[in-house]
Amino acid sequence: MESRLSRRTAASGGFTLIEMLVVVALVVILLGMIGLRIGGATRDVRTEAERLAAVIQAAQEQALLGGVPLALRLTGDGYAFDTQGADRNWVEVVQDDVLRPRRFARGVEMDSAMIEESPAASGARLMLPPSGDWLPFSLTLRRSDERWQVKGGADGEIKVAPAGTRGS
- Digit-by-digit pLDDT tens for the chain (168 residues) are 555 545 555 455 787 888 777 777 676 676 666 655 554 455 589 999 999 999 999 999 999 999 999 999 999 899 999 999 889 899 999 999 999 999 999 999 999 999 998 898 888 999 999 999 999 999 999 998 899 999 999 999 999 999 964 444
Q: Give domain status of residue 102, yes or no.
A: yes
- Containing domain of residue 76, as a range? 41-162
Q: Give domain status of residue 75, yes or no.
A: yes
Give the per-residue pLDDT at 166: 47
Q: Give domain status of residue 1, yes or no.
A: no
The total number of structural domains in the chain stands at 1
Query: In whole angstroms, what is the distance from residue 141 CA to residue 162 CA?
Result: 10
Domain of residue 79, CATH code: 3.55.40.10
Rounded to two decimals, the pTM is 0.72
Cβ proximity of 134 and 116 under 8 Å: no
Cβ proximity of 51 and 104 under 8 Å: no
